[in-house]
Chain A
Amino acid sequence: MSLKKALDDCLIDFDRRVLVTDLLEEYKLPYKEVHELLEAYVGSQEPATKFDKRFLVRGKRKYEEGGTNAGDELYSVVRESQLPDWLAKLQDAESQLYSVEVAGGSKSPAMIFKPMQHLEVKLANVEQRAGNPAPASAPTTNGVHKTNGVAPQTSKKPVVKSEPAKTSPIKAEKPAASKDKSPPDVKNTSPKGQSSKAKPGSTGAAKKGSINSFFTAAAAGSKQGDVKATPSKASTSSMDNFLKKQPPGAKKSPPKESKKATPAAVKKEKTPVKKQSPANTSVQLFEEESGDSSDEEEKLDKIRRKVIGSDNESDKEKPSSNSKRRRIVDSEDEDEEQPPKKTAEEPAVIDVEEMDTEPANETYMDEEGFVITQRKPTKAAPPPAKKKISPKATAPANKKKSPPSTGKGGGDGTKTKQAGIMSFFSKK
């Protein structure tokens, strides 16, 4: 619909303040045309209806005695009655119609100042380009020098904008970008954190102004800290989950194992064979259940001897069962994170189960009467891969879910739903 038609049909509500910028955006017309149409409409309505017009005035501040901010460019929206004063006050003053409303309209007015949206976008683009090259900093320094003498500028007049003010954020962008770069260097230790951090850091430096990028950097730092802290938790939690997911036979073991944790630790100290893998939690878990996780024959032999010793002490005691289980797991290798899921009383049955689930394993009874399960290296590879992936996959999910859930819990409180009015009133 054209502006003229809209005006003729009284579709534009002049009870509210009608901004020319709104019309420009809505009807996609040049300013001149909008201005002419609006003037014509206002002219036609003028005797019957009184309109309150506002004009955008642009000009330079005149030199005054003692004035330090003379020559500065001013923009202001002024009423029609004040327009001559402003035009007289400013040098090279220009004025354009900015808004029209019915004088004493019944509705609340629109915003006094509302710049055009698409123009804002253009300005933003210009800023980005100007921010990168070095010459951009020069005007800002000039601006700084000027502002030294022109500090009270903002308080004096309703000045809408000043160019130096726009350039200053661009200037500050550079140090922020350098700040963005520095934190990742510090936090090289965790590859995960680094990778996750690199993305926000780079985007922030490229797109945002100085103060924004500074804060994003800080936020990223804190996030990284969280990322560092959480993986260990996540790994334990994921392993816990993993353990919980074991068949029912294994469910009984965790409480027992927790009780046995201290003796296991003592054993660990005594056996120099045991190696601590980088994932401490997994080591502890296997210690609780089965001790070390080495596939080397020598180590296995050493463990066997100890197990034999423990078996000699008391075959029915739990430590002995632990030891037997430990041997089984040992033979399964360190990549074998699946804990043994059986009581020591029936190792043969357990092995059958394992055979069922993992045909790649080779189980046999050694000379000493212990059942040994060994995984073939070729077939052993796929299952651990699955196991490793699954905890990681679950862990981040847990991590992501838990913080929002707590946040929501605090924010929402009790969930509510909107009732219908019909449930309160009956039909007549």
Chain B
Amino acid sequence: MFEARLGQATILKKILDAIKDLLNEATFDCSDSGIQLQAMDNSHVSLVSLTLRSDGFDKFRCDRNLSMGMNLGSMAKILKCANNEDNVTMKAQDNADTVTIMFESANQEKVSDYEMKLMNLDQEHLGIPETDFSCVVRMPAMEFARICRDLAQFSESVVICCTKEGVKFSASGDVGTANIKLAQTGSVDKEEEAVIIEMQEPVTLTFACRYLNAFTKATPLSTQVQLSMCADVPLVVEYAIKDLGHIRYYLAPKIEDNET
């Protein structure tokens, strides 16, 4: 038996919004520690890793480990039926081929439940080694989203250059060149507005704007985003989900094409 209850459906809505652009289908691995999801996008360029801790749920019960393959588009449709303030409960029997998602209004006057078919998906779990990143940048998630959106107008690729002076996002294309520099903020009243750079050594990496923009769909989940970079290692874009867990995106860098 698996049962997980969240106080606000809006969090689950936001999580689905954050991953459904990259993933059509994914497997939610449920265990007594929580819910985990790991999946690559169709082109196998990026990887999404979602962790929802069991202690972040209002109620969490998982008698046996359970893998629920879901069509995320279908799940998003169901979640649209919930009001933001509704309680949401996911239920599944052991070895069941369906999951029940139940919405309850705050005053308990309205209860709606939706049953969704589960899927058997080929799971390709990847082992993600622990990496000592050369640069870790924490910045406002909205700012990052804005930068990615703006630079995507100039080029398909964005170059992220992190030095001790700050972090620079660049894009160059037919229109011209765009450079956005962010310096580390000295002292900020609001923590969510801070730009913090922890740098061991300078890093310059090139990434596809398309994926970065897909990652920024998670912006509503968190005020801050963390970019972890190391040479020849995928970029890690992490959005913390307050009191619940985090969503991490891994994006393979663009590498120099030696063939041409």
Contact = CB atoms under 8 A, between A and B. Distances in A.
Interface of A: 10-11, 13, 15, 48-49, 102, 104-108, 411-428
A11 B78 CA distance: 10
A163 B52 CA distance: 56
Given A416-B255, A421-B46, A427-B124, 18 more contacts: A48-B105, A106-B13, A107-B220, A108-B220, A412-B172, A415-B260, A416-B157, A418-B208, A418-B252, A419-B45, A419-B253, A420-B44, A421-B45, A421-B47, A421-B252, A425-B126, A425-B129, A427-B125
B44 A422 contact: yes
A48 B77 CA distance: 19
B10 interface: yes
A416 B254 contact: yes
Given A10-B81, A106-B13, A417 B127 contact: no
B218 to A, nearest CB: 12
A346 B201 CA distance: 70
Contacts of A105: 84
Interface in B38-61: 40, 43-47
Contact of A416 (B43, B220, B256): B256
B83 A49 contact: yes
B25 interface: no
Contacts of B83: 48-49
Contact of A427 (B14, B126, B250, B251): B126
B10 A106 contact: yes
Nearest to B142: A108
B174 A411 contact: yes
Contacts of A11: 77
A417 B260 CA distance: 10
Interface residues of chain A: helix, strand, loop or mixed (majority): loop
6 contacts: A106-B84, A414-B256, A418-B45, A421-B46, A421-B47, A427-B125
B190 interface: no
Contacts of B81: 10
A423 B46 CA distance: 11
Contacts of A108: 220
Nearest to B177: A411
Contacts, number: 90
A420 B252 contact: yes
Interface string B76-97: 0100110110000000000000
A428 B125 contact: yes
A418 B128 CA distance: 19
B234 interface: yes
A413 B174 CA distance: 13
B172 A411 contact: yes
Contact of A415 (B10, B44, B250, B257): B257
B173 A421 contact: no
A423 B251 CA distance: 11
Interface in B172-218: 172-174, 206, 208
Contacts of B220: 106-108
A418 B234 contact: no
A11 B73 CA distance: 12
B238 interface: no
A217 B236 CA distance: 49
B17 interface: yes
A419 B17 contact: no
A363 B17 CA distance: 84
Contacts of B126: 421-422, 425-428
Contact of A420 (B10, B45, B174, B256): B45
Interface in B119-141: 124-129
B17 A427 contact: no
A416 B257 contact: yes
A418 B254 contact: yes
A422 B125 CA distance: 10
Contacts of A415: 256-257, 260
Contacts of A107: 17, 220
Contacts of B46: 421
A423 B125 CA distance: 14
B80 A13 contact: yes
Contacts of A422: 40, 44, 126
B254 A419 contact: yes
A411 B252 contact: no
Given A106-B14, A427-B126, A428-B127, A421 B255 contact: no
A425 B47 contact: yes
A13 B79 CA distance: 11
A1 to B, nearest CB: 14
Given A411-B174, A427-B127, A417 B44 contact: no
Contacts of B234: 421, 424-425
Contacts of B253: 419
B233 interface: yes
Contacts of B77: 10-11
A399 B80 CA distance: 57
Nearest to A420: B44
A364 to B, nearest CB: 55
Contacts of B17: 107
Interface string B101-114: 00001000010000
Contacts of A420: 43-45, 252
A412 B171 CA distance: 10
A413 B14 contact: no
Contact of A419 (B110, B128, B255, B260): B255
A419 B125 contact: no
A11 B77 CA distance: 8
Nearest to B145: A108
A31 to B, nearest CB: 26
B173 A48 contact: no
Contacts of A106: 10, 13-14, 84, 220
A60 B14 CA distance: 43
A106 B219 CA distance: 11
A351 to B, nearest CB: 47
